[in-house]
Structure 1
Amino acid sequence: MRLFWAHPARLVTLGFLLQVLVGTTVLMLPVSRAPGAPADLLVAAFTTVSATCVTGLITVDTATYWSPFGHVVIMGLIQTGGIGVMTLATLLALKVRGRLGLRTSLAAQADSHSLDLTDLRGVLVRVVRLALAIEVVVAVLLTLRLRLGYDLGWPQALWHGVFHAVSAFNNAGFALYSDNLIGFVGDIWIIGPVCAALVLGGLGFPVLRELLRGRRPSRWSVHTTMTVWGSAVLVVVGVAVFWVFEAGRGGTLAGMSPWQQAVGALGGGVFPRTAGFNAVDYAAVTDEVEAVTIVLMFIGGGSAGTAGGIKVTTFLLLAAVIWSEVRGEPDVVVGRRRVGSAVQRQALTVALLAVGLVISSTILLMTLTDLEPLDLGFEVVSAFATVGLSTGITHQLPAAGQVVLMVLMFVGRVGPITVASALAINTRHRHYRFPKERPIVG
């Protein structure tokens, strides 16, 4: 009889749970905390879940609460969580066993979006190599800037460059500064590489692989076309909205030079794409920016990457369904390709489940605290979409509220992988159809 945990979806969940357990245990060690920092199980668990799920929400100051050893542990959790526990476990299985079962292969494909079972080993190796290559380039750029522009010593500049490169590519948002990246709000040599890393990580490995092949846009797959152009439009909208509402009198960018405002707006438009870094204080942004940021966080980035949210393709597929329905088209067509009904149902399922989870969690937090509903909604979406942006209320939540956020982060990270695996394996085909009837809609 097949073991209960042999199901790939359960293996994914178990892998993440084991990492959370190990990470929490290590962060509870005295060597992981700065001198004088108290031992707190909830703090260790919250930080571990946030790092493993590449979110970036924190209840303590990362720079001062954790020791250098603790920072290394957090970076390790970010790296393994970003690349994917299932991907790493599959690579280990390939080395130990030299082969994969069909179910495990399908689960790995759901996480990496590989289409070729026979080339799974090569796909997984390329995923890791690509991630490390991007992180190295960004780390070099950040190290040089921190050394030459901020007079940090080479060892400290190198460590900060590596940590923030890993955090950026994996869309984690953890920083080694108490104010995150607020001190670099107008510095394009810091904000630029960080934005580039998180965009590349957020596009997803299938898209990056296709882009590296040098194909013309006219020959891109529908998935790549939707992800690239959809992400570009969302970034432009985010930057424009942030600049318009925050550069005026009383805004977080007010008083800066036009160039600094442009750089700050770039961060304000890109960071909500599940990155979690902040170059301004989100407790001081306008309600309009906060609302738009919630929408950007909920949509998220590309599939099979380090980003969270319901994903750009899900959002655009639903938009295509609406457009086709409004026009009375019999098929949903994207880029001269017809989208199957099964994919449409999957997109609708993901979106509605996400909406239901976000609404119910926000209502639950409203019963646990007297904080502003908009701020609570911001926090909930940030946790579910594994973004990490906050208006500064995370540490104000009661223990039960912080546990709610931990569950949201875990579901937001593990959910898409397990759902994709289940759909790939458990597809059923009926040999009969019920009579059709049309209920009244609207």
Structure 2
Amino acid sequence: MKNFKDNLNPSKILVLGFVIIIIVGAILLSLPIATEDGKGLAFLDALFTSTSATCVTGLVVVDTGDTFSMFGEIVILILIQLGGIGFMTFATFLFTILGKKISLKERLLLKEAFNASSTSGIVKLVKRILVFALLTEGIGALILGIRFSFEMPIGQAIYYGIFHSISLFNNAGFDLMGDFRGLTGYVNDPTVVLTVCMLIVIGGLGFIVINELYEYRETRKVSLHTKVVLLTTVILILGATIFIYLFEYGNDKTLGPLSVVEKGLAALFHGVTPRTAGANTLSMGELTHATLFLTIFLMFIGGGSGSTAGGIKVTTFAVLMATVLSQLKGKQDVVLFKRRIVIDTILKVLTVVISGIMVVVIVTFLLSITEKGHEFIMYLFEATSAFGTVGLSIGLTPELSAIGRILIIITMFIGRLGPLTLGFAIANRKKQEGFQHPKGNIMIG
């Protein structure tokens, strides 16, 4: 037992922790008390839902609002919170309340969970993260609760406000509106659209970024990481909003019937939600292929490192683009904000991107075999949504076979933890070799 514990590095503990939470959640969701009809959910469906909630994805094989009782919905909400902010965040907070000292191994685990550069000040950061998350979710719940109170009883409105605020801040995308319709009823509602966009963006920036912005009053400086995250996020949101507005402007089934301002709100919402919240105010199945392809691109990128979002992350995308531009310009160094990016970071970026592409390609290929009778873009969309832990679907999820559901479960798990984390959990970290092989040249291009 001691040897087993000694072999558990931070990456392995994170993987094991997520597995335990998913299994416990699946067992609870399969209980009769968890469903409206009192019959319980088939275990595979419960496992799918538990994985989707813990990995803050939002893909569902059964409608959340129509299928689950309040007990089941609360279980889902707890899984979302644990998966989004991180079970180690809550454990650390509990340990500090009980006066327990946080060990070095636990600090290393927190560093791994939040993708921090060092363990210095990590416990203080975790406390601040939890307070900030609960405060942001509380504000979102208040605004949404007040808005929902105009069309439903106050008790239900408060509950809906809390559920959707937690779900969307954690970029999960679960909703209680019923009939798989998402937030389509609020496509032209500025209160709901702007509040949800705020929750998604803040949750997807990354807790390191949020902490640096909070401390800016004192430090008057931000790191290269924060600058890259903020700039890339703004560019992606603005670019996506403009393109979606143009692609869907004349589509009578999406933006067509809306006014100019409402078109802008709907385009903004769909420009934000693929990174990686999974909520929707437009019918996903009615979007043009151009918009669907753009959505796939955004889902693959995702949000910020150490955030509630998934994908390869905006910093990965930014460094990749900077590397390509540097090579095209014939420059030796990759530079962002007058800072040279070291080769180890570039190699890690290439590993993450290629690993992500391989996962999406393999899952898309397998889905095209197991789930027949659909357009190819549906398989690609579903695989990317699962890998990016987005939760958007154009109708394939509820129709998945048992094998298809297992494939998506595995993909969501890989997407949430990241290919690198899973790889490090399975294998040891790279070791310095005592020799170097001779150099070799290969023709490229």
- Compute the TM-score of the two structures, normalised by the length of structure 2: 0.93
1:424–1:208 distance in 2 versus 1, CA, 3 Å: farther
1:318 maps to: 320
Give CA deviations for 1:79-133 in whole Å, capped at 9, x if unaligned: 111011243344456657513134x422321222334524222111111111111
Determine if contact 1:32/1:70 at 8 Å carries over to the other structure: yes
1:380 maps to: 383
Check if 1:160 corresponds to 2:160: yes
SS in 1 for 2:121: helix
Task: Give distance in 2, aligned partners of 1:31 and 1:72.
Answer: 12
2:284 maps to: 282
Alignment-mate amino acid for residue 381 of structure 1:
T
Task: Give distance in 1, aligned partners of 2:334 and 2:79.
Answer: 40
2:400 maps to: 397
Alignment-mate amino acid for residue 159 of structure 2:
W
CA displacement at 1:42 relative to structure 2: 1.5
Determine if contact 1:141/1:193 at 8 Å carries over to the other structure: yes
**What is the aligned-residue identity percentage?**
37
Determine if contact 1:253/1:261 at 8 Å carries over to the other structure: yes
SS in 2 for 1:57: coil
Alignment-mate amino acid for residue 208 of structure 1:
I
1:362–1:420 distance in 2 versus 1, CA, 3 Å: closer
Task: Give distance in 1, aligned partners of 2:41 and 2:80.
Answer: 22
Determine if contact 1:110/1:421 at 8 Å carries over to the other structure: no
Check if 1:428 corresponds to 2:437: no
Task: Give distance in 2, aligned partners of 1:426 and 1:38.
Answer: 43
Determine if contact 2:188/2:262 at 8 Å carries over to the other structure: yes
Report the aligned-residue RMSD.
Answer: 2.2
Task: Give distance in 1, aligned partners of 2:229 and 2:366.
Answer: 33
2:3 maps to: 2
Structure 2: gaps spanning 5 or more residues? none
Give CA deviations for 1:171-226 in whole Å, capped at 9, x if unaligned: 00000102110000110100111110010000000111111223699943111111
1:268–1:430 distance in 2 versus 1, CA, 3 Å: same
Check if 1:412 corresponds to 2:415: yes
Check if 1:50 corresponds to 2:24: no
1:271–1:118 distance in 2 versus 1, CA, 3 Å: closer
Give CA deviations for 1:235-257 in whole Å, capped at 9, x if unaligned: 11111121112121434111112
Task: Give distance in 2, aligned partners of 1:92 and 1:11.
Answer: 18
- Compute the TM-score of the two structures, normalised by the length of structure 1: 0.94
1:437–1:423 distance in 2 versus 1, CA, 3 Å: farther
Check if 1:437 corresponds to 2:436: no
CA displacement at 1:51 relative to structure 2: 0.4
Determine if contact 1:106/1:424 at 8 Å carries over to the other structure: no
Select 1:117's aligned residue among 82, 106, 119: 119
Alignment-mate amino acid for residue 344 of structure 1:
I
Determine if contact 2:31/2:40 at 8 Å carries over to the other structure: no
Structure 1: gaps spanning 5 or more residues? none
2:308 maps to: 306
Alignment of 1:101-250 (within 5 A): 101-102=104-105, 104-147=106-149, 150-178=150-178, 179-214=181-216, 219-250=221-252
Alignment-mate amino acid for residue 349 of structure 2:
A
